[in-house]
A and B are shown apart, each in its own frame.
Chain A
Amino acid sequence: MFLLVALLGFGFGLILQRSRLNAYDVIGGFAMLEDWTVPKALLVAVGLGAVLLTIEVLVGWASWHVKPLLLGGVVVGGLIFGAGMAILGYCPGTLAVSLGEGALDAVVGIVGGVVAGWLFTLAYPSIKGVLGPNLGKVALVQLSGSPTGALLIAVVFGAATVGAAFWLDKKFD
């Protein structure tokens, strides 16, 4: 189990490192509107992933793991997360990859993140009221209620996000 998860993580780190998606200049560069690698790669991953994952679930090889729509948490947390991502120039996952590249600011970013995680653990009972309301685990592909409908929604969604990536590429690079 340890070896399998570490191996999958290794692949993740190598993909990010080789595409520079972990780099401060690439993530911070997006916050400066100077580098569009992050949104382009994520739009492709999400679009292609939606089609592949829907097929995988429909044939019974995987299940959905949709997170609940905790409106307050997602909106306020999203804004705070975006602010931190702009200043830090890394994400929770890419911090580890940049640590491997020797980035000392990633070391300090990890320390800041661990302190935040610790304080959040202590504060959770008093702030969980702000995270709601819980609007449930909603996914676009499940809205139609039929396998054909799910696949159709995934294909349309995938075409839109992959199309958006190519549009960004044409417009800004």
Chain B
Amino acid sequence: MGGRRGRLSWLAAGILLAVLDVLVFNSHVTDRPIGASTTYPYVGAKLFGATATEYFAKVQKPGSWELIFLFGAFLGGLVGALVFGDFRLTALHKRWIAKKGTSSGKRLVWAFVGGFLLIWGARMAGGCTSGHILSGGMQTAVSSLVFGLFVVTGLLVVGRLFYGGERG
């Protein structure tokens, strides 16, 4: 596991994310907000042949942009992890093991379920943590603020049911 070297605090990360998104918004840069979740219907429709649909026509342009953006994010994660010693091929993480044990199979089944719900919910709402909460939140968009409120509600309620309450 990596150490503290080169770590960013929550405050530094928040400042850098704000500056990055303001840059992405700039008319001379990309003239759109950061977003991620449209990648998934875009890739799914391409892979499984659902491109002659009303929804694909809607997501084609943002989807291809976000796929490139996430490809870059993947490389950023890879380089950061390799340089600072965080790279680890594993399905299990400290807090999962503490609550759910050491079965990788169980973790992977739940990861599929979680990934499915995540993208289904994002597509119903028209955005995710990046497109709605971060980019919409900084526009003070009411849709994004309402989304954020219900995400936190779903997260904390299901978190409590799924992982159990505080111990001790």
Contacts and interface: CB of A to CB of B under 8 A. Distances in A.
A66 B88 CA distance: 38
A26 to B, nearest CB: 9
Given A82-B151, A89-B114, A65 B32 contact: yes
Chief secondary structure at chain A's binding surface: helix
A28 B130 contact: no
Interface of A: 2, 4-25, 28-37, 39-50, 52-53, 56, 61-106, 108-122, 124-125, 127, 130-131, 135, 137-141, 153-154, 157, 161, 165, 169
B108 A17 contact: no
A48 B77 CA distance: 24
B115 A109 contact: yes
B125 to A, nearest CB: 3
Nearest to A57: B25
Interface string B6-22: 11111111111111111
A21 B13 contact: yes
B158 A86 contact: yes
Interface residues of B, number: 130
Contacts of A106: 111
A109 B112 contact: yes
Given A5-B72, A74-B146, A117-B119, 4 more contacts: A12-B69, A75-B146, A78-B148, A78-B150
Contacts of B95: 24-25, 28-29, 32, 34-35
Contacts of A65: 25, 32-33, 135, 139
B111 A77 contact: no
Residue of B79, B91, B125 contacting most chain A CB atoms (<10 Å): B125
Contact of B10 (A4, A19, A93, A153): A19
B115 A122 contact: no
12 contacts: A8-B69, A12-B20, A16-B13, A33-B156, A40-B11, A44-B11, A45-B137, A65-B139, A67-B127, A84-B117, A85-B118, A140-B142
B77 A77 contact: no
Nearest to A21: B13
Contact of B80 (A18, A64, A72): A18
